[in-house]
A and B are shown apart, each in its own frame.
Chain A
């Protein structure tokens, strides 16, 4: 059973460019969340997708947008890249349980470097 997969593994972009990161959730999971992890810090919540809609959003500007497809896979798009966007971008998938709990399983991440 494949876990959460993300592509690409690494990416180098220039300030002002746009980037798209991709995520495939764990089999059977229907909810995808995206996090940004700066070096030496814990992950920060960007947004969450369920049933192809953004359900929750963290404190990130509109330059960060996303999409979820009918097969539950997801994309994260970042426009007008800034140097401060350099980070590890993590995708997590989860399945909502009857209890309301969300056990989230993370992918390996995409390391984005903005120069």
Chain B
């Protein structure tokens, strides 16, 4: 079993929809939780960075962490075609050794 599980999708939604992306994990030592966006043939771009449980909002993006359930989510409101990309969740116990999910491919169509 992988330490971090992420549904690879693909996920296809109409423009303006609310998108929900999720990851589950098994290592209770994870303290830091991240979401990255990766466009085709590019490096991952850091979207959200959270510590421990709780919510964090940044514009159209909201990250949620539930450590009791070992479950994290990223919500994208008013999705745009430019949001079409692969979304990667990543986790860290400390010191920056990130463990990534497989990535979810998202397509937002006009």
Contact = CB atoms under 8 A, between A and B. Distances in A.
Interface in B4-54: 4, 6, 8, 32, 34, 36, 41-46, 49, 51
A77 B95 CA distance: 22
Interface residues of B, number: 27
Interface in A72-95: 90, 92, 94
A107 B100 contact: no
A42 B97 contact: no
A96 B97 CA distance: 13
Contact of A105 (B46, B51, B94, B102): B46
B92 interface: yes
Contacts of A101: 32, 49, 51
Contacts of B92: 102
Contacts of A111: 41
A41 B95 contact: no
Nearest to A43: B100
B43 A33 contact: no
A51 interface: no
B64 to A, nearest CB: 18
Contacts, number: 68
A94 B100 CA distance: 17
B96 A90 contact: no
Report whether over half of chain A's contact residues are helix, strand or loop; otherwise say mixed: strand
A104 B45 contact: no
Contacts of B95: 48, 55-56, 102
Nearest to B6: A42
B63 to A, nearest CB: 14
A61 interface: no
Given A90-B44, A99-B51, A109-B43, A41 B102 contact: yes
Interface of A: 4, 31, 33, 35, 40-45, 48, 55-56, 58, 90, 92, 94, 96, 99-109, 111
Top 8 nearest A-B pairs (CB, nearest first) are: A42-B100, A102-B96, A106-B43, A108-B43, A106-B44, A109-B43, A56-B97, A43-B100
